[in-house]
Structure 1
Amino acid sequence: MAVEEQTLYNTTQPVAPDYRRVGQRLTISNRLVSKLGFWFHRQSYPTGILVFEIYRKSNEELLASKLWGNAVDVPSGLPPTYLEVTFDEPVFIDDEVYICAYSTGTSDSDFPIMHRQYPSVKPDEGYVQKNGTWEEDDFWDTAYRYTYIVPPLAIDTT
């Protein structure tokens, strides 16, 4: 297994009512993605859940989704904690995607907080958030990690 990551962070973004999905736009080429994670801490006591997702950018098709757990179980202290999910089945990706965290049951004062970096450090990638439509901001990068394998080449034996 191999890892792709951006682990720097110096600021935060709440996963709150205004932006229930926050994450990163990036291209994943010819990989079977098995795990996805982000750095988080918690503000107060959110009542909902925290889910990690991968969407195809071109048509917003949901490619993978996995419940991390209850948002209130995200640790509240700093430094942030790396949270990760393992998908039930690895998902093949060869496209530009949005990797993100989604939360329900948040309020203006109770929410999980994702960590990100300013200025951006990953070329051709950038922070994304969704409230109705996806909004991209290439001046920021979300702190993330995904685990993958490169699928074997198909060998024609005919």
Structure 2
Amino acid sequence: MTHLPPPVTLPGVPASADDPIRLLAVRDTPLSLDEVYTAVGDDAAGGTALFVGTVRDHDGGRAVTSLAYSAHPGAEAELRRVAEKVAADFPVRALAAVHRIGPLIVGEVAVVAAVSCPHRAEAFAACARLVEDLKHEVPIWKQQIFVDGEEEWVGAC
């Protein structure tokens, strides 16, 4: 039996059975696809979209050996804001997103997001929007380490 870390409840934001946002977290431990998929299970959903982002071996034509993610202390609150906007703009039954921080190697899972909606097209669109907004609005930064030893920060202001 695999032990999964408990979902994060944000300070000042009580969890509610009516809340479609089921799981949001920024973690320094490996992520579980099953945990995220299970979190968005809903009998009224006809479609569930799941996105898994992994560390790739290249970027911009350069070979990548590893990377490290860092997050602002307010990243989970921003993730909540992004999730609430997606839930307001789409007929979301359930939503979950977890992002990894710390050092990762090629092939490791960096982010898992899932959305369930009444229909597949809505689920695809809502999940795509969740991932794009997470990437552009949540203060999580990536440091890439290239084969030649050079480093580059991505997403840092």
One fold, TM greater than 0.5?
no
Higher relative contact order by CA 8 Å / sep ≥ 6: 1 or 2? 1
TM-score (norm 2): 0.29
Larger proportion of helix: 2
